[in-house]
Copies of this chain bind each other. A is one copy, B any other.
Amino acid sequence: MTVAAALDQIRAIVGANGILTEPGDMAPYLAEWRGRFKGSSPAVVRPASTEEVAAVVRVCAEAGIPIVPQGGNTSLVGGSIPYEEGREIVLSLSRMNRIRDIDPLNYTMTVDAGVVLTTIQGAAADVDRLFPLSLGAEGTAQIGGLISTNAGGINVLRYGNARELVLGLEVVLPDGRVWDGLRRLRKNNTGYDLKNLFAGAEGTLGIITGAVLKLFPRPRQSETAFVAVPSPAAAVELLARLREATGDAVSAFELMSRRCLEFAIRHVGGSFDPLSEPSPWYVLTELTSGTRSDAFREAVETALGEAFEAELATDAVIAQSETQAKQLWFLREAIVEAQKHEGGSIKNDVSVPVSRVAEFIERAQAAVEAACPGIRPTPFGHVGDGNIHFNLSQPEGADTAAYLARWDEICHVVNEVIFALDGSISAEHGIGRFKKDEMPVIKGPVEFDLLRAVKAALDPKGLMNPGKMLP
């Protein structure tokens, strides 16, 4: 079957409104929002139901047309963008945006893959439940993509990654059959864990079209603190103490360096220094409790007081209102924004065991400074998960293009430290196009063979998001 003939069949399945072939219409689906990854495609297909997805995939399987599944297209590693050759169709899930069912008593919600994360958060809140996944792109990112990339975000410490928030999946397989794994069960020991195979597979094994999500009780009380700490080591120790002292009530624990804060104050309106004296490092932490009580806030205050005595913290402010808490969280977002205004920034999304975070930052800073004198590291991130966004602003006054041309070289310097500390070079952003060529190296021959065996078993024709995750 020719591509043109296949597109005719697909048009018959999804209707004229469900297929885009004009370059102008397709453009938003073919480029990453930062412009780092671009591709081309004969068509962007937008099915409205699982049955339509399945029918489209059957046509593609017959015609040998590869498919790039796409959600909100917020990937930072080019996972949702086709290659330049123009062989792949883009299959967008955005028209599948229905909440199928909410079961508050079972603490579950069943949704189409194309529902945007904030919509899910809101629907859970409407029935007095919490869906805890939360991250910067939540107003655009769709749940199918979030599950396919095993998204992280700020609440992983308490609630886990996307994988851990899913009870069941519906997946259109590479041959167009539908796997109905939409189970709403907490316990089900009958066979291999297919759910976790498709979750995090970056669309390379099939297309997630629906999911059963876990809900939780909504917290009744939240305490947000901005804490000056002398070092990353002190931050890690503080985290362990807070977890112990509050009975694992820490839902977020974000580390940031003084430079991060200074960049924010310099460039992003509304940023401020919450404390009177500068500190080399800060922690922004949120602790939540299911019950309202003065005792909870007292426990937080006592734990911080003990941290002062142990010289793990030098100053702190606890938000006195929800508004003040939001101002503190604004700083966390401003850090990301601010880095754009300090010239080129080379980004690393890495993780190490939590107990090695301090050693990682120290060694990685020394290594990149040796490789590029004057480089300005701005590490920040989710210390509670060992996940540091080890971003590196260019030396002051340096040529931006020349600096960014050293991206691979400098990432390599960071990665060497990561390997030495048994860490991961992609903690939450995934592999996509961006890091696929690293896979044989970081996995080693045994694990790489296992990954290829799984891919070959489930997608023998190699039509699902080819050239993503695996080279």
A199 contact from B188, B193, B385, Cβ within 8 A: B193
Q: Mark A110-150, 1 if CB is under 8 A from B, else 0.
A: 00000000000000000010000000000000000000011
Segment at the interface with B among A24-32, A246-254, A398-406 = A246-254
Known: A108-B353, A190-B439, A197-B192. A457 touches B446 (CB 8 A): no
Choose, from A56-64, A174-182, A304-312, A371-379, the stretch at the interface.
A174-182
Does A186 lie within 8 Å of B156, measured CB to CB?
yes
Question: In this assembly, does A442 line the interface, its C-beta being within 8 Å of a C-beta of chain B?
Answer: yes
Given the complex, which residues of B lie within 8 Å of A355, measured CB to CB? 103, 105-106
CB-CB under 8 A from A352, the residues of chain B are 185
Contact digits for A78-90, partner B, Cβ 8 Å, 1 yes 0 no = 0000000000000
List the one stretch of A8-16, A256-264, A321-329, A448-456 in contact with chain B. Answer: A448-456
Complex contacts, A196 vs chain B, CB 8 Å: 163, 193, 196-197
CA distance A14 to B190 in the complex (A): 34
Interchain CB contact under 8 A, A247 and B290: yes
> On chain A, which size bracket covers the interface?
35 or more
Given B177, B201, B217, which contacts A244 in the complex, CB threshold below 8 Å? B217
Q: How far is the CA of A217 from the CA of B288 in the complex (A)?
A: 15
Interface residues of A in 295-322 (CB under 8 A from B): 295-296, 299
Cβ 8 A contact of A188, one of B179, B246, B427, B453 = B427
Known contacts A237-B105, A353-B106; A426 and B458 CB within 8 A of each other: no
Q: Which residues of B contact A442 (CB under 8 A)?
A: 190
Contact between A189 and B428, CB atoms less than 8 A apart: yes
Q: Does A49 contact B (CB under 8 A)?
A: no
Report which of B181, B219, B450 forms a contact with A447, defined as CB distance below 8 A: B181
Name A203-252 residues within 8 Å CB distance of B: 205, 216-220, 236-237, 240, 243-249
A435-471 interface code vs B (CB 8 A; 1 in, 0 out)? 1000100111011001101111110000000000110
Contact A351 B186, CB 8 Å, known A177-B446, A237-B105: yes
Q: How far apart sit A451 and B249, CA to CA, in the bound complex (Å)?
A: 39
> Is A416 on the interface with B (CB-CB < 8 A)?
no
Decide: A424 near B187, CB < 8 A? Known: A128-B244, A217-B248: yes
| Chain B: CB-nearest residue to A447 | B179
CB distance from A308 to the nearest CB of B (A): 19
Closest to A303 in B: B291
A334 CB → nearest B CB, Å: 23
Q: Which residues of B contact A248 (CB under 8 A)?
A: 216-217, 290
Q: Is the CB of B385 within 8 A of A187?
A: yes
Q: How far is the CB of A454 from chain B (nearest CB, A)?
A: 5
B443 A191 Cβ-Cβ under 8 A = yes
* Cα distance A356–B173 in the bound complex, in angstroms: 30
Q: Interface centre among A160, A200, A291, by most B CB within 10 Å? A: A291
In the docked arrangement, what's the CA distance between A122 and B245, Å?
Answer: 21
Q: A294 to B291, alpha carbons, bound, how many Å? A: 12
State whether B197 touches A197 (Cβ < 8 A): yes
Closest to A349 in B: B189
A104 interface contact, C-beta 8 A = yes
Q: Which residue of chain B has the shortest Cβ distance to A300 in the bound complex?
A: B291
Residue of B whose beta carbon sits closest to that of A161: B187
Q: List 24 A-B contacts (CB under 8 A).
A: A103-B355, A105-B240, A105-B354, A105-B355, A107-B240, A107-B354, A150-B193, A156-B187, A163-B196, A164-B164, A183-B422, A185-B352, A187-B427, A188-B427, A189-B428, A189-B431, A191-B431, A193-B199, A197-B454, A219-B247, A245-B290, A453-B458, A456-B457, A457-B457
A: residues with CB less than 8 A from B are 103-108, 128, 149-150, 152, 156-157, 160-161, 163-164, 173, 177-181, 183-194, 196-197, 199-201, 205, 216-220, 236-237, 240, 243-249, 288-291, 293-296, 299, 351-356, 382, 384-387, 422-431, 435, 439, 442-444, 446-447, 450-451, 453-458, 469-470
Contacts A160-B164, A161-B187, A191-B439 known; 6 new A-B pairs at CB < 8 A: A106-B356, A149-B189, A163-B193, A190-B425, A190-B430, A196-B196
